Amino acid sequence: MEPLFGAVLALTLAVASAANDSCTCATNKWAVCAQDGPGNCTCRLAGSDQPVDCSTLTSKCFLMKAEMMPLKEKRLWRPPHGVLDSDGIYSPDCEQSGAFKARQCNRSSSCWCVNSAGVRRSEKGGSSLSCSELVRTSWIYIELTHGSSSNAFPAPDVAKALRQLFESRYQLRPKYIAAIKYDPPLIQIRLHQNKKLRWDVDIADVAYYFEKDVNNDSVFHSDSKLSVSVNGNALAIEKLWIYYVDEKAPEFCMRQLAAGISAVVTVVLLTAGIGIAALLILRWLRTRTYKKFESKEMREMKGTSSE
C-alpha cells in the first residue's frame, strides 16, 4: 500500500510542478505568476498588485515601473544585464489602464509633462507645474543600421522581413507600419497610429519592446534573442535610434524658441546701443575739438588786432 501511495504522491507532485512551470507570462518575464485554480494562471507585475494580460504586450509605463522596483521586490525577476538607461528610465506614475499620467515627478519635487510614450515634452518645473492633457505620440521613427559583416540585401526582402517581425513578435497590425526604407546599411521604419483601438497594441509599447530586444534585454519570458533573417541570412542590428512625434508640438520647443528670439533681440539692442553710444562719443569729441580750435583761432585774431 505504501509503495502505491508513494507513486500517487510523486505523480501528484509532478503534475503540480508541470502546472506551475506552465504558469508563466509569455509577453512579460518580470510578471509574477501563480496557479490559483485548475487551468487558471494569474500573473501580476513584480512588486505591485497590477494584473497583467499575457496575451498581449504590457504597457511601456508598467514596464518602466517594474524596472525601477528595488531588486528585493522583484523576487529575483531581474533583467539579465541589470543596467538602466539613466536618460530614459524613471519610475513613472501610471493610470489604471497602463497609460502614463500627463505629469511625472521625481523625489525632489521636480515635475515635467510627458507624451503617451512617456517621453518628456516640457521643461522641468516645480510641483505646481500643470499638464492639461496626455498628448498622444502618433508617429514613431525608428532608424537602425546593420553590421558591416552583413552584405546589402534586396530592399523588398528587408521590408518583408521587418514587417513580419513587427506583426508576429509584437502583434502590430500591418496598417500601422507606414513605411520601411532601406539604404544600406541604414534602415528606416515609420510607425503611424493616430488612434489606438482597445484591441490594438500601442506603437509606443512596440517600440519599447523592440528597443529592449535590440539591447539584448528582451521583455519576453522566453528571453530569446532577437533574430532577423533576410533570405536565410542574419540581419545583425548594430545601432538604433527612436524618434517620437506627437500630435502637438512639444512645449519646451516654444520656450526655447522664445528664449532664442529674446537672446537675439538682446544682442541686437545691445549692439545698437553700443553703436549709438560710440557715435555720440565721436560727435562729442569732434565738437569739443572744433570748439577748442575755434577758441584758439579767436585768441590769435585778437592778438593780431591789438598789435
Three-class DSSP labels, the chain: CHHHHHHHHHHHHHHHHHHHHHCCCCCCCCEEEEEEECCEEEEEECCCCCECCCCCCCCHHHHHHHHCCCHHHHCCCCCCCCCCCCCCCCCCCECCCCCECCEEECCCCCEEEEECCCCECCCCECCCCCCCCCECEEEEEEEEEECCCCCCCCHHHHHHHHHHHHHHCCCCCHHHEEEEEEECCEEEEEEECCCCCCCCCCHHHHHHHHHHHHCCCCCCCCCCCCCCEECCEECCEEEEEEEEEECCCCHHHHHHHHHHHHHHHHHHHHHHHHHHHHHHHHHHHHHHHHHHHHHHHHHHHHHHHHC
* Per-residue tens of pLDDT for the chain, all 307 residues: 444 444 443 444 344 444 445 788 999 988 888 888 777 888 988 766 789 999 999 999 999 888 877 544 444 333 333 322 333 678 899 999 999 999 999 887 899 999 999 999 899 899 899 999 999 999 999 999 998 766 789 999 999 999 999 999 999 999 999 999 998 999 999 999 998 898 999 999 999 999 999 998 899 987 567 888 998 888 989 899 999 999 988 876 444 444 445 555 566 667 777 878 777 787 777 776 655 555 655 665 555 555 5
* pTM for the structure as a whole: 0.69
